[in-house]
Amino acid sequence: MNGQKLWSTSAHHAKYGMLLARTNWDVPKHRGITYFALEMHQPGVVAKPLKQMNGHASFNEVFLNDARVPAANAIGEVGNGWAVALATLAHERRSFDVLQRAARTGRGKGRAYDEQRAEVAEIMAPYTWYPQRAGRADLIVERAQATGKSKDPVVRQEIAKLLSLARATEWTAKRARAARMAGRPPGPEGSLGKLYASEIARACARVHTLISGTDAMLSGADGPLEGIIAEILVSVPAVSIAGGTDEIQRNIVSERVLGMPKDPVIDAEKPFRDVPRNKR
């Protein structure tokens, strides 16, 4: 295997990576991809952590240089990797929640529990800033009261708008969960959730800035809440990108939920070999 992949979260800790590799160039691009479990600890694989603007280094640039994958590590049919990838993505967020719960609730005594906690702590270390990237709407009222800004009518109005949006989004998510539990397929609520998470995160950054003023820029122990507010401001842009950008999400909502005409696609049926690419 040869190639390069940006953004792989936790690749520097991982024993295995999920690899989508092009195995057939003579069929259209969504076919001809195979899904493999790639052993990360081998001479042909290098994972280089990337330092983010919030100071953390959660994801990596991964280089594959004549890396080897045994045929037995193919997951699903050869050439059917796209379907396996879609199934993986549908489960991505859920498994993350399960690990967080294990980290919070694992209080058992003894070696097995200690080792489990150490393992979960290592897996979760890249994610300590994730609450901040969601914008921390939970801190808004407390901060407004602590700074005296809760008396400012403009700030109060912005807080009310933000909290109404956050609450309505939470109810929509609950409706979607109830529909799934009742055996109904995921509806438009699910598609809108990701987009609203971005809207809320950005609105939080705006309101935290209104409340904290220029102090919001101070990081570490010098800043409000030991730098949490500054960390929010430099972490929220991630939500609009990770797991699919806002623009792609809007395309999905317009095409699959509202039934609007699709983006013109010129290469979906061409053999991948004939799809124009950059010269390299």
Stretch that binds ligand FAD, among 7-15, 83-91, 199-207, 272-280 (CB under 6 A): 7-15
Closest separation between CB of residue 17 and ligand FAD, Å?
A: 9
- Answer for which of 9, 73, 219, 254 binds ligand FAD (CB under 6 A) is 9
Residue 57 interacts with ligand FAD (CB under 6 A)?
Answer: no
What is the closest distance, in whole angstroms, from the C-beta atom of residue 49 to ligand FAD in the complex? 12
Which one, 54 or 212, has the nearer CB to ligand FAD? Answer: 54
Which residues is 108 bridged to in the sheet? none
From candidates 2, 4, 7, 148, binder to ligand FAD by CB under 6 A: 7
Residue numbers 214-273 binding ligand FAD by CB under 6 A: 238, 241-245, 247-248, 251, 263
Task: Specify the stretch interacting with ligand FAD by CB under 6 A; choose among 1-9, 104-112, 206-214, 226-234.
Answer: 1-9
- With beta carbons less than 8 A apart as the criterion, state whether 132 and 231 touch: yes
Strands 74-75, 59-64: parallel, antiparallel or unpaired by DSSP? Answer: unpaired
Residue tagged 């990237």 (tokens):
133
Alpha carbon distance 30, 85 (integer Å): 11
Minimal distance in Å, beta carbon 203 to ligand FAD?
19
Would strands 3-9 and 59-64 be described as parallel, antiparallel, or unpaired?
antiparallel
246: left (phi over 0), alpha (psi -120 to 50) or beta: alpha
Subset of residues 124 to 183 that bind ligand FAD, contact rule: CB under 6 A: none
Name the residue nearer to ligand FAD (CB basis): 124 or 146. 124
* Beta-bridge partner residues of 18: 37
Partnered with residue 21 across adjacent β-strands are: 34
Determine the Cα–Cα distance for residues 76 and 70; give it in Å rounded to an integer. Answer: 14
The residue among 127, 145, 129 whose CA lies nearest residue 229 is 129
CB of 52 to ligand FAD, least distance (A): 8
With binding defined as CB under 6 A, does residue 97 bind ligand FAD? no
Q: Are strands 3-9 and 74-75 parallel, antiparallel or unpaired?
A: unpaired
Closer by beta carbon to ligand FAD, 134 or else 210:
134
Binding footprint of ligand FAD on the chain (CB under 6 A): 7-9, 59, 238, 241-245, 247-248, 251, 263
